[in-house]
Amino acid sequence: MSKIATITLNPAIDLTVRADHFQTNTVNRGQEMQLDAGGKGVNVASFLADYGHASAVTGFLGRDNAAIFEQLFAQKRIEDAFIRLPGQTRTGIKVIDEAQQQTTDINMPGLQPSASEIEQLHTRIQQLAKTCDWFVLAGHLPPGVPITFYATVIEQLKQQGKNIVLDSSQAALRAGVQVGPTIIKPNIDELQQLVERPLHDELSIEQGARQLLRDTTQLVVVSMGEHGAMFVDQHTTLIAEPLAVNVKSTVGAGDAMVAGLIAGLSEGLPLTECARLATAFSAGTITRIGPHLPAQHILREYAQQVQVRTLQPTFGVVGE
């Protein structure tokens, strides 16, 4: 199986607090609390490791509180290629209300790397390119990093024949899309920003996704929350329906979908089966807190239960 590298410039330690019937502007009683190493690329690598895939991680970590990340990487045998920065990696607070099936996020800004540290990261990515076939570029950019960072990395990796997944937002996502990563994974809000129009139904979402299929971009996956996910390539539009599971936290559900998709593609599965596996990964992680999956046999059972249907594609908008 292919080795997969994830790039996370702005990781976070996730402080998850369960507080049922959470209300603002008052005192809330918590039921449990948990600390996890987090960040989109870290989550993807953790899920892939749970499924048995070799993975590596890089980006920027604060030196002062790196231990929780190092413990995760050692436990799951994930290659640690992070650049250490002075200071502490940011903390993200997640308030989980299981009773109302709601999650509230409070995200802090990240550490700002220097120009030399950014250059060091470019070098580290090139070193990983010697052994990794897939790269996942995930999450927000921290302060001080050019919005073209992902675009630059995508262009360099494309020249080396690598498969690249882009899962970011705002200006960094827009700049990265322009240079044609292999796969783009926006949610509906991010897709609306990219195509600059509202997307109200499945057909409009499909048309918006199809606009991004240009240059070397082969697949667009749109996460649609409770409505599942849409998988759009040059020939097919599939919709994978979500599974009904006991939701503990929706944090990391999109990252699990990316991991499941790459796991399927790297194993040579057809798109329909990749959609099932990606949805199974997502269902598996929302049944627990933290970047962890259930056992493989449970994931396979989930995948068999996923309903995938075909949406008639509207090919006329390609390249608009």
From the list 248, 291, 243, the residue with the least C-alpha distance to 76 is 291
* 107 compared with 182, residue with greater pLDDT: 182
86/106 Cα distance (integer angstroms):
23
Instruction: Give the CATH number for residue 62.
Output: 3.40.1190.20
* Residue 95 belongs to some domain of the structure: no
Per-residue pLDDT averaged across 280-294, rounded? 87
Taking 80 as the threshold, does the pLDDT of residue 291 lie above it?
A: yes
Helix, strand, coil fractions of the chain, as percent rounded to 5: 40, 25, 40
Phi-psi region of 196 (alpha: psi -120 to 50; beta: other; left: phi over 0): left
Domain total of the chain: 1
> What range does the domain containing 150 cover?
4-10+39-83+114-317
What pLDDT does 286 receive? 83
Q: Which residues contact 101 (CB under 8 A, 6 or more apart)?
A: 247
* Residue 26 belongs to some domain of the structure: no
Taking 50 as the threshold, does the pLDDT of residue 51 lie above it?
A: yes
* Residue 32 belongs to some domain of the structure: no
Token pair listed for 70: 């190092």
* Residue 109 belongs to some domain of the structure: no
283/274 Cα distance (integer angstroms):
14
* 314 compared with 123, residue with greater pLDDT: 123
What digits encode the pLDDT tens for the residues 198-250? 999 999 999 999 999 987 999 999 999 889 999 999 999 999 998 887 777 67
* Residue 69 belongs to some domain of the structure: yes
If one counts every other C-beta atom within 10 angstroms of the C-beta of residue 150, the result is 28
Token pair listed for 264: 């399927």
What pLDDT does 312 receive? 78
From the list 134, 152, 87, the residue with the least C-alpha distance to 264 is 134
Q: With cut-offs at 50, 70 and 90, classify the pLDDT of residue 288.
A: confident
* Residue 90 belongs to some domain of the structure: no
* Residue 179 belongs to some domain of the structure: yes
In order of 176, 177, 304, the CA distances from 164 in angstroms are: 11, 11, 27
Mapped onto helix, strand or coil, the DSSP state of residue 35 is strand
What pLDDT does 314 receive? 63
Range from 28-32, 151-155, 309-313 that averages highest in pLDDT: 151-155
Per-residue pLDDT averaged across 156-161, rounded? 96
- Known catalytic membership, residue 64: no
From the list 229, 219, 206, 315, the residue with the least C-alpha distance to 277 is 229
* Residue 285 belongs to some domain of the structure: yes
What pLDDT does 315 receive? 57
What pLDDT does 313 receive? 62
Whether pTM exceeds 0.85:
yes
307/114 Cα distance (integer angstroms):
47
Token pair listed for 16: 């998850």
* 251 compared with 278, residue with greater pLDDT: 278
What pLDDT does 316 receive? 52
**Percentage of the chain surpassing pLDDT 70?**
97
What digits encode the pLDDT tens for the residues 68-124? 999 999 999 999 999 999 999 999 998 989 888 888 989 888 999 999 999 999 999
Q: What is the DSSP letter of 52?
A: T
